[in-house]
Structure 1
Amino acid sequence: MVITDNALIVLDGATAHDPAMPSAGEYVDCLASELARSIGDASPLAEILKRSISRTTESLGIVPGLAPSSTVALVRVESDTVDALILGDTSVIVGQRGGDIATYTDDRLSQLDLPEADLYRRFLALGWGYTGRHGKILEELQVAERARRNRPRGYWIAEADPSAAEHAVHVQFARDELSWIVVATDGAFDLMPALGLGWHEVARMSTPQLGELLDRIHTWEAEIDPEGKALPRAKRHDDKTIAIVRFR
């Protein structure tokens, strides 16, 4: 997560279940730096993301199809408007001054209905846990996903193809209509129903309270559902980020 004078940048690098894929850590750090350097420009967010992916690709010497990847969520606050861009399954939850709440995410990957994704969830729901067989299914799933990455009728993600930015989800709001925005990676977003919390409650939390919330999520994963039976998920513990923008 990166915070600038008028913007919020949240990235969530993909775990490399396939041993042929490199770790996303260096990619995320480089892309975050490029975005932070450019997000204050007057350019549309999609153009800023496109340039940032291009510079990251050049800097790291990576090529499409064999590169690490990351979700992207950008929120930029201007004097009269607020823009949000989403690429991948990080969610942007928007609270209006009138009390309405809307959630925006990019669910194209989950809409592919890949058989490997159904298989690993059924494997966990049956109580078989995070075994070597589970890891092998995830490896096969990642190979199948990579074949559909950044192409029509597939899904789009920040990787080594700058044109993916052109397919990002973009929403814009009048600033005076907003009360708050929460940005949450899937590791936090997916667990919120299990904790019985609403986003209006999360939006009022202080920084220490958010830290406690992330600890609660981690504890739920470790103690209540350590084998992923109640909530089948790729990993027992996923990275978790929650960030809040409040408007006066």
Structure 2
Amino acid sequence: MASAQGVGVANEDSVYASPTAVVVLDGLSAPKDLPMGCIHGTPWFVQQLGTRLINLISSDTVPLQEALRTAISEVNALHRDSCALDQEAVPASTVVMIRKRVDDLDYLVLSDNVLLLDLGERGVQAIVDKRVEEVAGVEMRAALRGPTGTPDHATRVSALVTVQRQLRNRPGGYWVAATDPAAADEAITGTIALTQIRQAALLTDGASRLVDTFGVLSWGQLLDLLSSEGPAALIARTREAELGDPVGERWPRFKQSDDATAAYVLLDGTTATAARKSARRT
């Protein structure tokens, strides 16, 4: 596992692991144009949600959606009396998590974190919830126009966030973990037999950029990098690419660098990279 702060004032990502489970969260930055309904802030919310999730899903009898519903409710209870949780601006987070049971791997993805599963001869499957990219198209295209880091660009990104926030956790919009436990019902979930999976990766969108934003790696190559050099090397290579295009001229994006977190999981005793390359040859 590795995590690194981007251009913000704090790293709002977080990663948690137990012997049978991994949880990766990407906190959503607090809006600057509205009073925050929570006095604690996004990093606190992410930490509280993540610690509850990893404890809840360590039991293989709890469905992942139920664990997420419970965790959101428990965090609500922690600060309902001190914070205005009915306000529009409250802390929120994306979620991706996996849990190993006896013969199966369960997964849950909510919003734009990425789960990669190496299925051997069947290739690499990327599971990601892209509904946030399907709303506010006009504002999103404007926000992606550079140069990154200018006051004009910041204004356009703020306009996008304003529209997105109005569509958050609503039918026809997109869903994140915030104060509504029902968001758990909107997550992408599934179960795959462990015999079908060689390795997995859980990534926040700041750690998936080399593929889905920059296009310099495939998902398979990203897994190879994780397998051979580790998550910290993936983040370092991402930072190198970002520094080579500081104003988003080559790769338009909302900010020069984002908080980046990656967790790599090897699910059997073989060398996963060699196994997948052997499968390609056959």
Same fold (TM over 0.5): yes
Report the CA distance between 1:44 and its aligned residue.
0.7
Contact 1:21 / 1:67 at 8 angstroms: preserved in 2?
A: no
The 5-angstrom pairing of residues 104-119 of structure 1 reads: 104-119=127-142
Contact 1:91 / 1:104 at 8 angstroms: preserved in 2?
A: yes
Match of 2:252 in 1: 232
Call closer, same or farther: CA 1:17–1:225 in 2, change over 3 Å: farther
SS of structure 1 residue aligned to 2:30: coil
Report the CA distance between 1:195 and its aligned residue.
6.8
Contact 1:17 / 1:138 at 8 angstroms: preserved in 2?
A: no
Letter of the structure 2 residue corresponding to residue 153 of structure 1: G
Counterpart-to-counterpart distance in 2, 1:138 and 1:198? 28
Unpaired segments of 5 or more residues in structure 1? none
Report the CA distance between 1:29 and its aligned residue.
0.7
Q: 1:32 aligns with which of 50, 54, 65?
A: 50
Counterpart-to-counterpart distance in 1, 2:50 and 2:177? 11
1:129 aligns with 2:163: no
Report the CA distance between 1:227 and its aligned residue.
0.2
Q: How many residues align?
A: 243
Tell me which moved more, 207-216 or 162-171. Answer: 207-216
Counterpart-to-counterpart distance in 1, 2:27 and 2:228? 23
Give RMSD over aligned pairs: 1.9
Match of 1:216 in 2: 237
Unpaired segments of 5 or more residues in structure 2? 1-14, 269-282
SS of structure 2 residue aligned to 1:233: coil
Contact 1:74 / 1:86 at 8 angstroms: preserved in 2?
A: yes
> Could you list the per-position Cα deviations for residues 164-191 of structure 1 after superposition, in whole angstroms to 9, with x for gaps in the alignment?
0011001210111111111111112122
Counterpart-to-counterpart distance in 2, 1:40 and 1:116? 40
- TM-score under structure 2 length normalisation: 0.80
Match of 2:167 in 1: 148
Contact 2:148 / 2:256 at 8 angstroms: preserved in 1?
A: no
The percentage of counterpart residues that share the same residue type is 28
Report the CA distance between 1:133 and its aligned residue.
1.5
Call closer, same or farther: CA 1:86–1:28 in 2, change over 3 Å: same
Q: 1:181 aligns with which of 191, 200, 203?
A: 200
Q: 2:102 aligns with which of 57, 79, 82?
A: 79
